[in-house]
């Protein structure tokens, strides 16, 4: 006997640095029939490729995150605390601008109740980030090392938050 399954899914992907990342899946698109003889598509595709790449806000922001990560400043000498602090401070400022841009986009995209929930979470995240950087400052015992570590925490946590917001909220 022969079994036929019908699938109706549309995948959205973005091409970043010659790598394809899936950004969304939805129940729509052409119906594909899978049988012993292999898959067949019931509606003709207008694309020469089987993969559809869309220009979504998520794709834009994923690309922005990768570009920002690639432009992070490296310390002139990573053995000198002042150089590390300056590099992390510059990186923090850069990521903070990206975070503000993402947050502004979310204000436009999210329904009011969801945005209100995110505001509460974002305010708590800011408190947690600042507390973590202050804890690092105290634990490092002052001096240039302490301030370099504080700047590093601010930089890294802000970068991680940008990725979280794009991954879980941007559409």
Please give the model's pTM, rounded to 2 decimal places: 0.67
Which pLDDT score is estimated for 43?
A: 43
Contact, 90 vs 151, CB < 8 A?
A: no
Does the pLDDT of residue 150 top 50, yes or no? Answer: yes
Q: Compute the distance between CA of residue 128 and CA of residue 120 in angstroms, rounded to an integer.
A: 12
Does the pLDDT of residue 129 top 70, yes or no? Answer: yes
Does the pLDDT of residue 33 top 60, yes or no? Answer: no
Q: What are the structural domains, with CATH classification, of the chain?
A: 5-54 (no CATH), 59-168 (1.20.1270)
pLDDT in tens, 113-124: 999 999 999 999
pLDDT in tens, 58-78: 999 999 999 999 999 998 888
Give the list of residues 6+ apart from residue 118 with CB closer than 8 angstroms, or none: 106, 110, 169
Q: Compute the distance between CA of residue 35 and CA of residue 12 in angstroms, rounded to an integer.
A: 25
Task: Give the pair of three-digit tokens for residue 115.
Answer: 């945005």
């Amino acid at each position: 006997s022969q079994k036929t399954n019908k699938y109706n899914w549309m995948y959205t992907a973005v091409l970043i640095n010659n790598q394809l990342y899936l950004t969304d899946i939805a129940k729509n698109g052409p119906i594909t029939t899978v049988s012993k003889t292999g898959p067949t598509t019931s509606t003709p595709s207008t694309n020469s490729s089987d993969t559809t790449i869309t220009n979504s806000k998520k794709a834009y922001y994923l690309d922005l995150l990768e570009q920002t990560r690639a432009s992070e400043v490296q310390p002139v000498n990573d053995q000198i605390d002042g150089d590390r602090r300056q590099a992390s401070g510059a990186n923090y400022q850069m990521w903070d601008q990206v975070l503000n841009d993402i947050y502004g986009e979310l204000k436009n995209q999210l329904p009011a109740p969801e945005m209100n929930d995110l505001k509460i979470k974002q305010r708590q995240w800011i408190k947690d980030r600042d507390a973590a950087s202050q804890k690092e400052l105290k634990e490092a015992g002052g001096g240039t090392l302490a301030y370099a570590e504080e700047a590093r925490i601010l930089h890294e946590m802000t970068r991680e938050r940008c990725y979280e917001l794009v991954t879980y909220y941007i559409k």
